[in-house]
Amino acid sequence: MSGQAAPLARGRFQVSRLWADPVNLLMLILLVVLAYLVLWPFVQLVIHSFTWAEGDRRVSRDAVPGAFTWFHWLQATTGPISGKMLYGPLVNTLKTGIAATIIALLAGGVLAWCVVRSDMPGKRWLQPMLTLPYIVPSFAIALAWEAVFRSPKVGGQPGLYESFLGAAPPEWLSYGTVPISITLAMHYFPFAYLLVSGALATIDSQMEEGALIAGAGRLMILRRITFPVVAPAFAAAFILTFGKTIGQFALPFLLGAPTQFHTVATMVYANLALGLDSMAFVLAIILIAMSLVSIWMANRFVGKKSRRFETISGKGFRNRVIPLGAWKWPVFAGVALFAFTVGVLPLILLGVQSVMLIDGFYGLENLTWHFWTGTSNPDIAFGEPGVLHNSLILGAAWNTIRLAFISAVIASVVGLVIAYIVVRRDNNPLARALDQLAFIPFLFPTIAFGAMYLTLFAEPVGPIPALYGTFTLLVLISVVSRLPYSVKTGMTAVTQIGRELEEAAEVAGAGWGMRFRRIVMPLAGPGVLSGMMVSFVGVMRELSLIILLITPSTRVLMTVGFGYAEEGMTQLSNALVLIVAVLTIIGELILWWIGKGRIARLREKQT
Amino acid sequence: MAKITVRNLTKRYGDMVALDDVSLEIDSGEFLVLLGPSGCGKTTLLRCLAGLETPDEGEIRIGDDIVFSSERKIEVAPGKRGLGMVFQSYALWPHMTVRDNLKFGLDVLKIAKKPSDERLDRVLEDVGLGALGARYPSELSGGQQQRVALARLLATQPQVFLMDEPLSNLDARLRMDMRVELKRFQAETGATTVYVTHDQTEAMTMSTRVVVMKDGRILQISPPQQLYRQPESTFVADFIGMPRINLIELAADKGRATSYSNTDISIDLGWDPGLERVIVGARPEDINLSEDRAAPGEDYEVGAVLPNGPETIVQLSRGVTSVLARVGHDTSLLPGQMVRLSYRSEAINVYDARTRSLVTSPVAEVAAAS
């Protein structure tokens, strides 16, 4: 080694480091942008609900467009149509939400116990099957339900039920509270299942063994030990699941609207369809309030009570599996049948429906590929060509892929940058504010979020053009709605990158940009990549978020499928939803593959 | 070359003062060790030198450049201070090969491909990693990773080496080897080195001077021998040395100016510190033991005999006063035995019991002056 000195660069800066640091600059920009994209739309929504709109001249002679008014709120809460507008839908929302949550939690709880605590065989492939209904778009399940229980009383062709039993199903089984609750439960039980199995996995079986030694029987242990310990997590799971159900739009709309059965979420859509925007905004605010209350309550349960029940003691933790004995195979058969019925059967039904010339008539002579491969035929489905020849569908497919891809990439990169700021500047209150700001979209039911963007981007504001009807707006709302998730993914990734790795690069003279590009990005890569895939799948199956913002030129598969369903063109909507479902499943498989292979290998390298 | 000057450096974290008005001069080519218990501010000081922490007040110069000054609002980025750093965790980039880890710094300096390649070959060869350039850090042993971290520092040829407990993750044997290596590279490059450790053996064996820190302040800066022989406070005396120094609080005897005692023992210091109460610091090897009852000193009872390879540590007591002595490995002392014990008065240090700082004897002052 020679004693030759490294060139001592003369670069100095007289400015305070606070401003020279590009991270601080980035943080301020992100704060402003996010405030505009997250907080401001909500403020706008509230303002609009208190303002006379142009269209209100139709409903009231006192309307002075632009002026303040209590009219919409009064009309929603005390007006003559308040029962139909608000209270009826509110009761329906609570009714279906609570019923669905109870069913989902019971099913999820029992399944979680079987998978986590029992020695049931076949767990490895039952587990992914059990999460399938949550992966496919929720309205696939609604369409499948309709395929079976469609009632000719509301028009259209008979369903599978009537075709086989010869009698129309009772209306309560076709539309309204019962089918909505059951299908919601089918869609959300995997969510409850994941929450409960997480809680069950933390139980130290030594606690149960202690009770066993004390002479307690199996049931007594379950009742006095196991259940009280998981109770807080159970309560939180209940509220979180409920919070999710109330924001559901497509599913209750398909199974409720034909008989004028409305929830708050479908009422938002219905009002906007009627041009009663302000009323829709009032309902959207009520929906947001319900979501906020439920998440606040869930946090209280998880935050306070569970700490008292902190069960992971670190030392000597064991999770014993309980032998089922002779029940082993019956339990397995039951779970497998359940998984098949809720996960696979609906997709099969959709597939079968999509190849029937006239839906509802089951027979070989009625089978056709027309809806997949046929060209326009004026006698079938008003001349709509099959999927592969339908320029509308092909355009929508292209839009879907484009939207999902662009949104996923942007959401992941922005999420990583925000996560980086939050983790690395954890003592800066502005960084914490950024963290919270990025989480807020999680609190908005998606249809309400869509309603907000409808108000915000209807007209140009300053340098920002009117984005309504543009593809950009879809990307924007998709990105913002994915941020709570991508920031969390990013934070996990960044936390795993030791601070010293970056400091070493800093000492070597690398600026922030170079460090982010050459150290942070490659190391966070695998985690962010899988987060990107999650976002890709999430955006692809999203409907209620964007349904209000779609115009003919920006259609995506989900909205086209929804449109066909609304118009009664069952085969086409089934085909489309099936395509989206298959795409999302492929996405999940890729994700699973990434998780198994690439990430594991890279993780190994890092440690 | 690169002399480092630190003036009145203060760093606070909220109410906690991590560095409290620290001033320090480090000569060019020096191997300076920052030593102290955890939380004493040694790592903070190192990170301030590196530019990874921004001090609240003070000034840092490296060579002719002011790299930090709170008054003049100067702060030079870490990469422009002409220094290299080895981190405790090594901080090797796991997604880059050994060679790419080294190359990163050269890329930043925009060194052309050919000279860069040549330099990398040479450095890898130098640290004994010539064959491992294509490996990833995770495919290396702890000792090899340490060498990569060292090589990465050498590759950019900085004037200043900063090292934050670089050997603390190695096992004892490897640590010994690496100390020799580090010394060699430091001597060959002549780089000014600041080295943080909480391991006093490391501090004593490698440094030209040791800085002992506590609660964000510098307690003493001395060459290692002097630090061991003349700790300037009871804290430093107690902190340095294994087994620890015997610190005994004594009061002046009436009438005899050089004699101090407690209820159990009495020591003649041989000079008069002129204090009412003192603390005597006697290293275990500064205690003479004799089985001859006529030898000078007082009788102590042997409490425990702890053989430790080349030496044996003996715990003795007289009344409630207990001391440790270091004797040869061939000792025949047994627990329960009474022995004659005396203190080498020329070797023991005297501290003011109130201020707990060293009181220098006139003899030592004369010796120091000559």
pLDDT tens-digit map of B293-343: 888 889 999 999 999 889 999 999 999 999 999 998 888 899 999 999 999
Span B145-152, average pLDDT: 92
What pLDDT score was predicted for residue A306? Answer: 43
For the record, the structure tokens of B324 come out as 């440790």
| Cβ pair A507:B79 closer than 8 A | yes
Quote the CA–CA distance of A144 and A347 in Å, as a whole number.
7
Q: Does residue A62 lie within any of the structural domains?
A: no
Contact A503 B78 (CB under 8 A): yes
A350 and A437 co-located in one domain: no
Please indicate, yes or no, if residue A12 is contained in any of the structural domains. Answer: no
Beta bridge partner(s), residue A270: none
- The verdict on A1 touching B (C-beta cutoff 8 Å) is yes
Site from B46, B75, B86, B126 to mutate, A interface, most A CB atoms within 10 angstroms: B75
The beta-carbon neighbor of A501 closest among B80, B91, B162 is B91
Virtual CA dihedral for A214, A218, A222, A226, nearest 10 degrees?
Answer: 50
Q: Regarding beta strands B349-352 and B358-359, do their DSSP bridges make them parallel or antiparallel, or are they unpaired?
A: antiparallel
- CB of A500 within 8 Å of a chain B CB? The answer is yes
Domain that holds residue A130: 76-311+321-376
The whole-angstrom distance between residue A197's C-alpha and the CA centroid of its chain comes to 20
**Domain count across chain A:** 2
What is the least distance, in Å, from the CA of A11 to any CA of chain B?
Answer: 7
Which of the 8 DSSP states describes residue B146?
A: H
In terms of CA atoms, which chain A residue is nearest residue B158?
A: A6
Residues A325 and A401 in one domain: no
In B, which residues are within 8 Å of A4 by CB distance? 157
Place of tokens 């290396």: B140
- Report residue A302's pLDDT band, with 50, 70 and 90 as the boundaries: low
- Within 10 A of A325 (CB to CB), how many other CB atoms are there? 7
Q: Percent of chain B beyond pLDDT 90?
A: 62
What are the chain A neighbours of B73 within 8 Å (beta carbons)? 14-16
Chain A interface mutation, best of B60, B62, B95, highest count of A Cβ atoms under 10 Å: B95
Higher pLDDT, B274 or B6: B6
Q: Chain B: residue nearest A21 by CA? A: B77
Any chain B CB within 8 A of the CB of A429? no
Dihedral sign from CA coordinates of A223, A225, A228, A231: negative
Tokens of B360: 């220098």
Are residue A408 and residue A330 in the same domain, yes or no? no
Q: Residue A27 has what pLDDT?
A: 92
Q: How far apart are CA A89 and CA A263, in angstroms?
A: 4
Which chain A residues have a beta carbon less than 8 Å from that of B83?
A: 507
Alpha-carbon gap, residue A595 to A599, rounded angstroms: 5
Q: Could you tell me which chain B residue has the CA closest to the CA of A607?
A: B138
The answer to whether A503 contacts B94, with C-beta atoms less than 8 Å apart, is no
Please, which pLDDT band fits residue A308 given cuts at 50, 70 and 90? very low
Give the closest-approach CA distance of A506 to chain B in angstroms: 6
Nearest to B8 by CA among B48, B47, B51: B48
A258 and A340, same domain (yes or no): yes
In B, which residues are within 8 Å of A6 by CB distance?
Answer: 82, 109, 156-159
**Is residue A445 assigned to a domain?**
yes
Cα–Cα distance measured from residue A561 to residue A568, given in angstroms and rounded to the nearest whole number: 11
List A residues 8-47 in contact with B (Cβ-Cβ < 8 A). Answer: 8-17
Among A343-347, A381-385, A485-489, A544-548, the range scoring the smallest mean pLDDT is A381-385
Stretch among A314-328, B143-157, B232-246 having the lowest mean pLDDT: A314-328
Nearest to A447 by CA among A304, A312, A245, A307: A245
| A514 is a domain residue | yes
The yes-or-no verdict on residue A602 having pLDDT over 60 is: no
The span from the first CA to the last CA of chain A, in angstroms, equals: 32
Contact check, Cβ <8 Å, B104/A510? yes
- Residues B138-163 have a mean pLDDT of 91
pLDDT digits (tens, 9 = 90+) for B188-240: 999 999 999 988 989 999 999 999 999 999 999 999 999 999 999 999 999 99
Min Cα distance B368 → chain A (Å) is 35
Q: How far is B134 from chain A, CA to nearest CA, in Å?
A: 14
For A172-192, the pLDDT digits (tens) are 888 889 999 999 999 998 888
Residue type, A80: P
Give the tokens for residue B156.
């950019």
> Concatenated DSSP letters for B219-282?
EEEE-HHHHHH--SBHHHHHHSSSSPPEEEEEEEPSS-TTEEE-SS-EEE-SS----SEEEEEE
User: Rounded to an integer, what distance in angstroms lies between the CA atom of residue A251 and that of residue A544?
Assistant: 10
Looking at residue B201, the DSSP 8-state letter turns out to be: H
| Residue-wise pLDDT tens digits, A387-434 | 777 888 888 999 999 999 999 999 999 999 999 999 988 888 999 999
Confidence of residue A164 (pLDDT cuts 50, 70, 90): confident
Q: Give A496→chain B minimum CA distance, Å.
A: 12
Test A509 with B83 for CB contact under 8 angstroms.
no
pLDDT band at B148 (very low <50, low <70, confident <90, very high): very high
B108/A507 touch (CB, cutoff 8 Å), yes or no: no
Of the candidate ranges A153-157, A276-280, B258-262, B284-288, the one whose mean pLDDT is the lowest? A153-157
CB A502 within 8 A of CB A515: yes
Q: Is B31 helix (H, G, I), strand (E, B) or coil?
A: strand
The yes-or-no verdict on residue B179 having pLDDT over 60 is yes
Contact B156 A508 (CB under 8 A): yes
Contact A189/A103 with Cβ under 8 angstroms? yes
Helix, strand and coil in chain B, % to nearest 5 = 30, 35, 35
A607 and A521, same domain (yes or no): yes
What's the CA gap between B272 and A467, in Å, rounded?
91
Q: Which residue of B has its CA nearest to A7?
A: B82
Pairwise CB contact (< 8 Å): A519 & B83: no
Please check the confidence at residue A12 and state whether its pLDDT lies above 70.
no
Tell me which residue in A500, A519, A606 faces B138 most closely, judged by beta carbons. A606
Contact, A335 vs A120, CB < 8 A? yes
Q: B325 with B339: CB under 8 angstroms? A: no
Closest to A506 (Cβ–Cβ): which among B2, B79, B162? Answer: B79
The pLDDT assigned to A223 comes to 78
What's the confidence (pLDDT) of residue A359?
A: 65
CA nearest neighbour of A398 among A568, A206, A555: A555
Q: Cβ of A500 and B89 within 8 Å?
A: yes
Q: Do B80 and A8 touch (CB under 8 A)?
A: yes
pLDDT band per the 50, 70, 90 thresholds, residue A550: confident
Residue A20, pLDDT score: 60
Of A5, A14, A510, the CB nearest to B157: A5
Q: Based on the domain organization, do A437 and A511 belong to the same domain? A: yes
Res. A13: pLDDT tops 50:
no
Indicate whether A221 and A110 sit together in one domain: yes
Q: Is the pLDDT of residue B370 over 60?
A: no
Q: What percent of chain A clears pLDDT 90, i.e. is strictly above it? A: 23
A334 shares a domain with A403: no
Stretch B166-189: mean pLDDT: 88
Contact B278, B345 (CB under 8 A): no
> What span, in angstroms and rounded, lies between the C-alpha atoms of A387 and A397?
10
Name the residue of chain A whose CA is nearest to B51's CA: A507
Are residues B76 and B65 in contact, defined by beta-carbon separation less than 8 angstroms?
A: yes
Give the domain CATH number at A477.
1.10.3720.10
CA triplet A112, A94, A538: central angle to 5 degrees? Answer: 55
In whole angstroms, give the CA distance from residue A591 to residue A597.
10
Residue A362 sits in the same domain as residue A429? no
Residue A56 lies in a domain: no
Could you give the maximum distance between any two Cα atoms of chain A, in Å?
97
A341 and A428, same structural domain?
A: no
What gap in Å lies between CA A575 and CA A368, rounded to an integer? 13
Which residue from A490, A601, A522 is spatially nearest to B101, judged by alpha carbons?
A: A522
The region that residue B165 occupies, defined by phi over 0 for left and psi between -120 and 50 for alpha, beta otherwise, is left
Can you state the percent helix, strand and coil of chain A, rounding each to 5?
75, 0, 25
Q: Report yes or no on A593 lying in a domain.
A: yes
Distance from CA of B163 to the nearest CA of A (A): 12
Instruction: Based on the fold, state whether residues A135 and A272 are members of the same structural domain.
Output: yes
Closest approach of chain B CAs to the CA of A587, in angstroms? 26
Q: Are residues A299 and A151 in the same domain?
A: yes
Out of B82, B93, B105, closest to residue A501 by CB = B93
Q: What is the ipTM of this complex?
A: 0.81
Is the CB of B77 less than 8 angstroms away from the CB of A506? yes
pLDDT at B351: 95
Q: What's the whole-number mean pLDDT along residues A278-290?
A: 92
Q: Is residue A383 part of a domain?
A: no
Q: Is A391 on the interface with B (CB under 8 A)?
A: no
Rounded to whole angstroms, how far apart are CA atoms B178 and B188? Answer: 15
Contacts with A12 from chain B: Cβ below 8 Å = 74, 76, 80
Predicted local distance difference test score (pLDDT) of residue A80: 86
Chain B residues in contact with A519 (beta carbon < 8 A): 93
| Neighboring chain B residues of A606 at a CB cutoff of 8 Å | 94-95, 138
Residue A13 domain flag = no
Q: What is the mean pLDDT of chain A?
A: 82
Q: Which of A106, A94, A273 is nearest to A181 (CA)?
A: A94
Measured distance CA(B319)–CA(B311) in Å, rounded: 26
The alpha helices in A78-122, defined as continuous H runs, are 82, 88-117
Q: Which residue of A has its CA nearest to B124?
A: A1
